[in-house]
Amino acid sequence: MPAIRFDQVSKTYRGGQVRALDGVSFEIAQGEFFGLLGPNGAGKTSLISILAGLSQASGGSIQVHGHDVVSDYAAARRALGIVPQELVFDPFFSVREALEIQSGYFGVRNNGAWITELLENLGLADKARANMRQLSGGMKRRVLVAQALVHRPPVIVLDEPTAGVDVELRQTLWQFIARLNREGHTVLLTTHYLEEAEALCQRLAMLKQGRIVALDRTSDLLAGRASTMLRFKTDAALPPSLAAQSRVTGRIVQIKAHDAAEVETILATLRAAACPVEDLEIGRADLEDVFLEIMQGAGQ
C-alpha cells in the first residue's frame, strides 16, 4: 500500500475558469522522502489542501495509507502530519499547552515524553512555558512543526517549511525530519529551494500549470539531463549567438554545454568578441538547471 496515492486529481476555481490541477496521478511509497516542485501558481498548494481535507477536489481522489481523504477523512487525517505554510496559532496558550491541546484533538493521551522530545529536537525546550504570542516568527514555525508531529503521523507533509526561515532552523529542522524519515516516516516536501530538494528528496515530481511534467528519482533527473554548465561574471554584453542560450542573473551568466567541444566553442566565441570574463567555473548542471530546462520545455 502506498503512503499517498493521487488518482486523477483535478481542481478548478471560479466555476471552471481557472484549472489549477489537471488529472494529477502519482504514488508516494511508504518511507520515501518525496519532493513536489513547481513555479508559483503550478498547483502545489491546491494539491496539499485537498490532501489535508481543507478543500475538495473537482475530480479524482486521494488516499493516505489506503484511506480516502474525503470518505474516510478522520483516518486519513490521523495518518498525516501537516506543517502549514502560514503561521496560524492560538495566542492564549503556552507552547507546551498548544501541543497538549493538539494531542487531545487527535485523542492521544499521556503524550508528555514525546512532547518533550519534540521540544528538544526542535530547539524549543527553553520556550515550553512561553506564550505563543511572545515567540518570534521562526520560533512559531518550530511550534507548527511540533504540532504537526504530535500524534506521530506516519506521513509528514511540509508545505514550504523553510520560506523565510534562518539557517539555524533549517538545519535543526532537516536533521530532525531526516531522522524521522530514517525511522520510517514518509515525507512529502514542497519547496522553492531546489538545493534543499536536491539534497533531501529521493524522488521528485515537477508540476507545471496543474500537470506533472517530470517524475523521477532525483539522481536520474540530474543524470538524464547531464550537461555541463559554464558560469562566469561579466559587465559586457554577450555576443548574440551566446546571449540566446544563456541565463543571465545580474552580472552572472550561465551557459549550458553538452560536451567539451561545446565548452571550447563557447570560450572561443567569448574571446573572439573580446568579452571580458571573471570567475569562470565549469561544473555539472544542478537541480535548478534541470528544473528550468524542464519548465521551459514542458507544455509548449
Ligand X SMILES: Nc1ncnc2c1ncn2[C@@H]1O[C@H](COP(=O)(O)OP(=O)(O)OP(=O)(O)O)[C@@H](O)[C@H]1O
Which positions touch ligand X (CB under 6 A)?
A: 13-14, 18, 20, 38, 40-46
Minimum CB separation from ligand X for residue 6, in Å? 14
Cell (9 digits) for 255: 551557459
Q: Which of 43/153 has CB closer to ligand X?
A: 43
Minimum CB separation from ligand X for residue 233, in Å? 29
Minimum CB separation from ligand X for residue 52, in Å? 13
Minimum CB separation from ligand X for residue 84, in Å? 12
Q: Which of 163/248 has CB closer to ligand X?
A: 163
Minimum CB separation from ligand X for residue 48, in Å? 8
Whose cell is 553538452? That residue is 258
CA-to-CA distance for 258 and 57, rounded, in angstroms?
42
E strands in 133-245: 155-159, 186-190, 203-208, 211-217, 228-233
Q: Which of 36/221 has CB closer to ligand X?
A: 36
3-class DSSP state of 147: helix
Q: Residues 105, 106, 107, 113: what is their CA dihedral angle, to the nearest 10 degrees?
A: -100
Minimum CB separation from ligand X for residue 38, in Å? 5
3-class DSSP state of 4: strand
Minimum CB separation from ligand X for residue 124, in Å? 27
- Name beta bridge partners: 4: 28, 64
Q: In this structure, which amino acid lies at residue 18?
A: V
CA-to-CA distance for 160 and 85, rounded, in angstroms?
6
> What is the total residue count of the chain?
300
Query: Does residue 247 contact residue 292 with C-beta atoms inside 8 Å?
Result: yes
Q: Which of 22/32 has CB closer to ligand X?
A: 22
Sign of CA dihedral 263, 269, 270, 274: positive
Residue, CB closest to ligand X: 45
Q: Which of 119/188 has CB closer to ligand X?
A: 188
